[in-house]
Amino acid sequence: MLTEREEKNSVAIASNESFGGWTKTFTDPRLCAAIVDRLTFNGTIIETGTDSYRLATTRARAEEQAKAS
């Protein structure tokens, strides 16, 4: 699907995980390398260096619930 799409239009993908952390999701190292290779070929990588506000909110909520228990 990505190959067909990239030949005609742009593709944008966002992730809160750096490429180094993708092996947590794609546990097969060869598969992970192939996915990263395909996504980055002729691509532009923009690293914002910011943390996810959603993740911070979720963690804060979990801490509050743990304290309340």
Q: Which pLDDT tens digit goes with each residue over 11-69?
A: 888 887 888 889 999 999 999 999 889 888 888 888 877 777 788 899 999 999 999 87
Mean pLDDT (whole number) for 4-10: 75
* pLDDT value for 31: 92
* pLDDT value for 2: 67
CB 26 within 8 A of CB 35: yes
CB 52 within 8 A of CB 15: no
CA angle, residues 42, 43, 46, in degrees to nearest 5: 155
CA–CA dist 3, 18 (Å, integer): 22
* Long-range interactions of 31-38: CB distance < 8 A, separation 24+: 38/2, 38/3
Q: What pTM does this model have? A: 0.56
Count of residues for the chain? 69
